[in-house]
Structure 1
Amino acid sequence: MPGVRRATAWALGWNGRRSTLGPLWEAARRERCDQVRLAMAVAAVRCGAEVRRAWNLLEEAAERRLATIYGPRRVAVAAEAGVDTMARRWRRTLAPEGPPDREPGAIEAQDPRALRATLQRRLDADPEDRRSLILLALQQHPGDHGRIVGRKWISGRRESHAICEALGEHGDPRGIATLVRELRAMNVDPGHGFAGRRASATALGRIGDPSVGPVLARALVDEALDFEGRPGAGMGIQFPVRSVMLTALGEAGCLAQARVLVPYLSDVQGSALGGFYLPAMDALWKLGPVPVLRAALGGSARQAAHAAAVLAALGEVEVVSACVDDPRSVVADTARLALELLDEDRAGRGPNPGQEAGQGARNDPEES
């Protein structure tokens, strides 16, 4: 469960014992969920790892590629976990007091206890200091949950979005109920409601509790039927909220909802960002539902091609090798490219984490 791995990493980092660095580093190297990997890398630094080496691990994962019918694509950007995003969160967690444009591998990590105390004092002095709220949440101390949820929602929409972001960064599952209410809120101006749903869905994914799977799956349906393209909803040009919801299913480890993601593998033009296939592929890679992906090979050409690409990234070489002989050229070409990328990753020339033989496959929820 991603949330448990994240909380364990935080505890190890807070204790700061160098004896735990080896297992922590190995876990971070194999981790596929972006939020958990960030927590592990931060914890590794606090246990004695070099900042540059820990950042390099995050940077490589942020540049991960998957084969698509359009060629290799860096899917982390579609999951809002590209290099720029991760660098910003890395700086804000380890050393928020310095210049915002510092080279991530060269920052000097601040003492987490002293940093937490400073941020608490700032919030006591100015309860409306949203920046300090987010920075405090990034320290992930369970004792700060009350400070986050206890804030008065006195600043309207922007305040509620800040609380959603803080709850996601903090990672405490006690915040799930608040986020679900925000995700389901219907009494919001449709021209702005998408931002609240985006913030709450992102936060639910970062908390990493698979129990939110049914809520996110329902929200995907509601978003398509009730919000997208409706008058006042931005006429479809706003950030596609379903992209965030797809990503959240992967980040939260919602294996039971893996089949919900499959139809999106063929969606190459359903959003203002060029389709939902990239966040769906990335989420399925994080979940690793091999039986579901094998079944998806029998779908449309686009679906089969992208399912084969995810299977290759999960190390299912034998299955994907058979796809090279698929009579549908788009499937065969994508499978061939996916195997080439896998070879590069295994040879150390590519960025994808967790490519050792035997990694990736996870039981189907109905077969476990």
Structure 2
Amino acid sequence: MIKRIQELDVLRILAMLFVITYHFAVEYGFAGIPVMNLFCTTPNYDFGNVAVTIFLILSGGLLYKKYGDLLNAPSKEISLQRFYKKRALAIYPPFWILSLYIPFSLLRHALTDGNTFALAHPLTLLLTLIGFDGYVKLYGVSTYAFCGDWFVGAIVFLYLLYPLLAKVYRKAPIVTLSVLTVLYALQFWIPAPNFLLSAYPFTLLFKFCLGFALVENLEKLRSSRTAIISAIVFIVLSFIDIPGSLNTDCFGTIAAIALFVFGFYLAPSLLRNKAVGTSVQKIAPLSYCVFLVQHVAILWSQAAYIQLFAKLHLRFTEWNVAALLAVTILLILLIAYLLNKVTRKALTFL
């Protein structure tokens, strides 16, 4: 049993907050509501990219630390079959529980306008079943995606390829990372929106495999010199507009690595505070459920706030919207906690 690394849990929570604040600011901006640029965009990248990159690094690194090269594993305890079963039980139950909303939505459409499959072809429900509904929607495919955005499909894709990727990395780590870096960079010449490039297969594989190297060398990241350099890089990328044609995903990846290194160095100091340590222990296990519910919760709570403000004849300002962000974060954590609890209960019947 591998001991949980609490410093990485601090980074996990940081990424959770970034993805919430990013989507919150984007959705409120789209609605024309004044909102502070709290961890949303910078001159060179956006924090949604940083959040996803950190999650991919953590997912890849912790898998590699726990399972290593599965294809050459001597023990049946970490066989391929056991690996895929554990990954499926971690991903699909909470996703399917939330996706129960979809059949109720189909029923509502059938009763109100007589068109059950108004949003997409019924066969696309198969994409929902395997978690790829949000991912293929990025490429213009109409689906019944409800929760998890594109991240669920991305992580399923990476888990499926993990045994092969880990085997190749174990044999030649520098060559593997170098090849993936080149393939990732070649994608910059593909004419596509920046958000789409962030979800391309080689982008995902590069960041996932980067996690192997970072988590494998955690002790080397405890250097104060490395932490200071990383902090400087992160601050420069966050506040100074760098001219040139580099893709924002590239800047976001560099910023995420810098934040990962600096955050890992700083985490032990934060964890010495008992309240912080306890909070990290409670919140970190909710990270996947937070990823599933955060976007839907932001949109639905936003609709409720708009109605409430209209009834009370209140105006949105940057300050009261910041207060609504705090309330929304607490709401997301509560929903994620309940989803996690329901999922655990459901798994006891399997």
Give the structure-1-normalised TM-score: 0.34
By relative contact order (CA 8 Å, sep 6+), the higher-ranking structure is 2
Structure number with the higher helix fraction is 2
